Structure 1
Amino acid sequence: MSFIDKPGSLPDVARDEAASIALPLQWVGMRGIALPLRLEDGSVLPASAEVAVDLPDPHAKGIHMSRLYLLLDTFASRSRLTPAALHGLLQQMRESHTDCQSRAASLRLEFALLQQRAALVTPGLAGWKSYPVTLSAQLQDTALDMRLSVRIAYSSTCPCSAALSRQALQDAFAGDFAQQDAIGHDTVLAWLARHGSLATPHSQRSEAELSIAVAGDAAHLPLRDLIDTAEASLGTAVQTAVRRADEQAFALANGANLMYVEDAARRLRQALEARFGGCAVRVSHFESLHAHDAVATTASPEWQEPLR
């Protein structure tokens, strides 16, 4: 065995050399780590992870990134995604760097949750939707901050455009029947069949980014509950498999839930606060009228952004 192959003979620059510039660093770690995540129901999803610890020792050359990677790999192979398991992983990450005087650890997971969603009215008809999820957690001394975020797609119909369309329809009806004092039922129905879509309000696919805090001692991560609460509050979640009856039901839902970007943001915050407490909401309406998007953000008074 050559000298370089002997155990313990390889140089460890991070341990044995001092930093050329003596400054502490808030976070040091890795981003874009591919790993499988095991959910509470046992299903496994591909994910991307970012891990880091602080480096308060101004003279330490660097952290030991392989320690963080191996801890994350062990977590992925043995643990299910629960608040308690994440808390334990953060503690292990920090403890693995006591020689660097680390007091904080940070973790960010990104993955897509697949959910089967039933059609609005057709029995037995369903399809799959993908919900991008971000789970971030920080452990600073004894304080744990865990945030769950999800993006959902929905449809938004402009209230102003709807009012203008109704006005155009009224004007056309009044013009066509200006000389008639009485109009028969069948005549009205026939006119509506021909001219009911004379003007239509503009609607567009929209997206909401929702964030809630999760307690470290929570029994589970409320992924599905968060999605269901948000979609129910809006009433116009985008659909998957549809038949004509479902498409009509979707049109009716849009008509019953006209909303500006401000309306959507307020609806979502009200629903999330009632169910989960503090939250943050950002909504984007990808305009079909304008060449730009409409956006709105709102957060509970007690909501604070994490350190990173």
Structure 2
Amino acid sequence: MNNPLPDVASSELSQALLPLDWVGMQGIDIPLTLDEPGAAAPVHARADLHVDLPVPQIKGIHMSRLYTLLDRFAEHQAVSPASLAALLELMVASHADCHSSQARLRLTFDLLCKRPALVTQGLNGWKSYPVVIDAQWQQGRLWLEAGVEVTYSSTCPCSAALSRQLLEQAFILHFGAGPVDSAQVSAWLRHNGSHATPHSQRSVARVQVRIDQDADHLGLHSLIDLIEDALGTPVQTAVKRADEQAFARLNGQNLMYVEDAARKVQQSLAMGFPVSSVSVRHLESLHPHDAVAWSSIGHAPTFGAVNEGRRR
């Protein structure tokens, strides 16, 4: 029982003596508290964490050290730019004997936000927003990006124009070119206003932004609000008929191609985020394929922040 346990990571060399960019663990389940306004309950996150291994003669890193640091972080710290920087710096320091100088951490989780109905007072519901936080410690500083996914409704402008033309033709066919009575027109529209309807579909915007290392918070709620305000038609939770009617009005007032959606979101980000990427996807109801668009400011879009197939 008193015999020392073997440690081949320290006593043996690898067969191939090569440096490694990153070594670590992926998909660790962990409860995390967010240092965000309005975020109280812990979220169930999954963490990937790595350090570099630059010395070829060192066979392996100390994965238990990384896990312990993450576990202590989750128990005592809330997620913020400052706390993430401290954790990453500790990860590097814990591997001084491996000559590590870089560390990185990815956190993925769903952020639950309570959203009010459009019209009905006191009616609320919960929406889930997939979030990814990418943090890296490099050359003594923090590099931090946040990615969020927002679901919205998109109504095709071309389809809307074609529908209006059909309604116009039906109106002329019914009433002719002479004078008409407003009451008759109102009654006709009540029964024939949807003679043709434009196609619309559930759509997804994925946004990735660079966050300043000196920021007080990640700003996830405000980022989500910014995106939803730019699009104008975020999907709803609890609704009554008045809310559904208000949603129909919003769709009619915010007709958009996929190109429109990408531009609207990117424009809304330009002032607050000098480095950002946008990916939008319209799950077409007209076609069996999707319409997509990308845009970026400050760097090429990578979209690793919110994995395309993570929930689908």
Fold match (TM-score > 0.5)? yes
In the alignment, the residues of structure 2 paired with residue 285 and residue 137 of structure 1 have an alpha-carbon distance, to the nearest angstrom, of 29
Unpaired stretches in structure 1, ≥5 consecutive residues:
none
- Is the 1:210–1:282 contact (alpha carbons within 8 Å) kept by the matching residues of 2? yes
| Residue 13 of structure 2: aligned partner | 18
- Is the 2:274–2:298 contact (alpha carbons within 8 Å) kept by the matching residues of 1? no
- 1:296 aligns to 2:290 (yes or no): no
**How many Å apart are 1:302 and its aligned residue?**
4.5
- Is the 1:278–1:303 contact (alpha carbons within 8 Å) kept by the matching residues of 2? no
1:164 to 1:305, Cα distance in 2 relative to 1, 3 A: closer
In the alignment, the residues of structure 2 paired with residue 302 and residue 66 of structure 1 have an alpha-carbon distance, to the nearest angstrom, of 35
| Residue 62 of structure 2: aligned partner | 64
1:99 to 1:257, Cα distance in 2 relative to 1, 3 A: same
* Residue-by-residue CA offset, 1:19-55 (whole Å, 9 max, x unaligned): 1101111111100100100112542111100000011
- Is the 1:63–1:100 contact (alpha carbons within 8 Å) kept by the matching residues of 2? yes
Structure 2 counterpart of 1:19, one-letter code: S
Scaled by the length of structure 1, the TM-score of the pair is 0.95
| Residue 191 of structure 1: aligned partner | 188
- 1:39 aligns to 2:38 (yes or no): no
* Secondary structure of residue in 1 paired with 2:137: strand
- 1:207 aligns to 2:219 (yes or no): no
In the alignment, the residues of structure 2 paired with residue 266 and residue 23 of structure 1 have an alpha-carbon distance, to the nearest angstrom, of 45
* Secondary structure of residue in 1 paired with 2:15: coil
| Residue 246 of structure 1: aligned partner | 243
* Secondary structure of residue in 1 paired with 2:78: coil
- 1:53 aligns to 2:77 (yes or no): no
| Residue 218 of structure 1: aligned partner | 215
Poorly superposed stretches of 4+, deviation over 4 Å: 302-308
* Residue-by-residue CA offset, 1:40-92 (whole Å, 9 max, x unaligned): 25421111000000111112111111110000000000001110000000001
Structure 2 counterpart of 1:35, one-letter code: I
1:284 to 1:143, Cα distance in 2 relative to 1, 3 A: same
* Secondary structure of residue in 2 paired with 1:275: coil
In the alignment, the residues of structure 2 paired with residue 199 and residue 299 of structure 1 have an alpha-carbon distance, to the nearest angstrom, of 37
* Residue-by-residue CA offset, 1:174-201 (whole Å, 9 max, x unaligned): 11223x5111111111111121101000
* Higher mean C-alpha deviation, range 241-250 or range 34-43: 34-43
In the alignment, the residues of structure 1 paired with residue 238 and residue 180 of structure 2 have an alpha-carbon distance, to the nearest angstrom, of 41
| Residue 138 of structure 2: aligned partner | 140
Unpaired stretches in structure 2, ≥5 consecutive residues:
306-312
In the alignment, the residues of structure 2 paired with residue 125 and residue 239 of structure 1 have an alpha-carbon distance, to the nearest angstrom, of 11
1:304 to 1:267, Cα distance in 2 relative to 1, 3 A: closer
- 1:229 aligns to 2:257 (yes or no): no
In the alignment, the residues of structure 2 paired with residue 60 and residue 218 of structure 1 have an alpha-carbon distance, to the nearest angstrom, of 37
In the alignment, the residues of structure 2 paired with residue 59 and residue 84 of structure 1 have an alpha-carbon distance, to the nearest angstrom, of 34
Scaled by the length of structure 2, the TM-score of the pair is 0.93
- Is the 1:145–1:306 contact (alpha carbons within 8 Å) kept by the matching residues of 2? no
**How many Å apart are 1:304 and its aligned residue?**
7.2
In the alignment, the residues of structure 2 paired with residue 307 and residue 297 of structure 1 have an alpha-carbon distance, to the nearest angstrom, of 13
**How many Å apart are 1:275 and its aligned residue?**
2.8
- Is the 1:42–1:80 contact (alpha carbons within 8 Å) kept by the matching residues of 2? no
- Is the 1:135–1:148 contact (alpha carbons within 8 Å) kept by the matching residues of 2? yes
